């Protein structure tokens, strides 16, 4: 069996082109590296190098050996990463969400159902979340568009309607509904960690100035003390959480209303059965995608 260190020496030499450069990168002396090259030839029982005065280069066999060695080292790194990831997955549940409301709800639910597990979580786009689910980065994701793949299992897990919260003296405060273009151009307060809603607001109201706040507590303090329009959600309004002295008006655009889907790989369906059992029931509730 070939020592992986020798393969690393070969790959490094092929990339650097000289013993001097390769030895510096490997933090070994040139004589030690030369001995490693000779040992490789002894293992292969094939000449891998052309040796001239004060110079050594790879021959065609050496070039092939270096290419194959690089692939072996990549496979070994991949193997180590997969084993480490598997070990972490035994003690950690990785969650990805597309918006802040399901993000908070899912973390609270997972923490209750799996108190012995660590939780990794982050906000990403639907595309990034699906790619991460397929790649094993996430074990559970929440999307605002239902995917269609028989390798996935999902259940509807909620609905959210976006509202604009205005002070009574605002010119639009008497409306029963407001279109995004009617808000375009205004200065509004916006919490930055809201997932895909952030990009949607920027797209639908390109002339508006958004005063972004990364800290939710600071955001709520400014919202309470100012007259800036603020976006809120049916989720908070239904719980009675609204800014005092303001009027909340729905945004009249279908894109400002979203259904959420909790998704896992079919292979993880049984593992997360307690999660899916706790999600709200809907007529189209449980779906094996593609079926």
Give the residue-averaged pLDDT of 217-243. Answer: 88
Beta strands in 15-134 (DSSP E): 49-52, 55-58, 92-97, 118-123
- State the average pLDDT over residues 193-221: 91
What's the pLDDT at 172? 93
Mean pLDDT in the chain? 88
How many C-alpha atoms does 289 have within 13 Å on its Cβ side? 19
pLDDT given for residue 289 in this prediction: 39
Cβ partners under 8 Å of residue 62, min gap 6: 10, 14, 47, 48, 49
8 A C-beta contact, residue 122 and residue 100: no
Q: For a pLDDT cut of 90, what percent of the chain falls above it?
A: 59
Among positive and negative, which fits the CA dihedral 235, 237, 241, 245?
positive
Radius of gyration over every alpha carbon of the chain, rounded to an integer in angstroms:
29
The predicted pLDDT at position 163 comes to: 95
Least confident of 97-101, 193-197, 268-272, 285-289: 285-289
Q: By percentage, how much of the chain surpasses pLDDT 70?
A: 94
- The DSSP annotation for 30-47 comes to HHHHHHHHHHHHHHHTS-
d(CA 134, CA 109): 23
Summarize pLDDT for 50-88 with one digit per residue, the tens.
988 878 899 999 999 999 999 999 888 888 877 776 766
Quick check: 165 and 186 in contact, CB under 8 A?
A: no
pLDDT at position 286 over 50 = no
Residue 124: phi and psi, rounded to 5, are: -145, 170
Amino acid 244: pLDDT:
82
The pLDDT of residue 242 is 80
Q: What is the pLDDT of residues 148-174, one digit of tens each?
A: 899 999 999 999 999 999 999 999 999
pLDDT score recorded for residue 287: 38
For residue 116, pLDDT beyond 90: no
CA distance 184 to 207: 6
Domains in the chain: ranges and CATH = 4-88 (1.10.10.10), 95-291 (3.40.190.290)
Residues 188-200, mean pLDDT to the nearest whole number: 92
pLDDT band at 143 (very low <50, low <70, confident <90, very high): very high
């Amino acid at each position: 069996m070939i020592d992986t260190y020798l393969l690393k020496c070969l790959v490094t030499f092929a990339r650097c082109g000289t013993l001097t450069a390769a030895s510096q990168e490997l933090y070994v002396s040139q004589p030690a590296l030369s001995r490693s090259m000779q040992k490789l030839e002894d293992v292969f029982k094939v000449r891998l190098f052309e040796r001239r005065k004060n110079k050594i280069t790879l021959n065609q066999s050496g070039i092939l050996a270096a290419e194959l060695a690089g692939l072996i080292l990549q496979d070994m790194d991949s193997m180590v990463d997969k084993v480490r990831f598997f070990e972490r997955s035994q003690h950690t549940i990785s969650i990805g969400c597309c918006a802040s409301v399901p993000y908070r709800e899912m973390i609270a639910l997972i923490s209750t159902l799996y108190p012995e597990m660590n939780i990794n979580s982050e906000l990403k786009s639907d595309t990034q979340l699906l790619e991460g689910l397929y790649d094993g980065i996430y074990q559970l994701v929440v999307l605002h568009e239902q995917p269609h793949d028989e390798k996935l299992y999902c259940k509807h897990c909620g609905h959210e309607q976006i509202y604009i919260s205005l002070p009574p003296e605002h010119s639009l405060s008497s409306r029963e509904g407001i279109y995004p273009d009617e808000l375009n151009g205004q200065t509004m307060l916006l919490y930055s960690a809201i997932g895909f809603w952030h990009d949607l607001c920027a797209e639908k109201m390109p002339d508006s100035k958004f005063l972004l706040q990364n800290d939710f507590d600071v955001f709520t303090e400014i919202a309470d003390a100012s007259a800036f329009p603020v976006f809120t959600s049916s989720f908070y309004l239904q719980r009675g959480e609204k800014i005092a002295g303001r009027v909340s008006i729905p945004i009249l655009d279908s894109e400002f209303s979203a259904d959420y889907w909790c998704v896992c790989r079919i292979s993880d369906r049984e593992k997360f059965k307690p999660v899916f059992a706790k999600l709200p029931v809907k007529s189209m509730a449980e779906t094996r995608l593609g079926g």
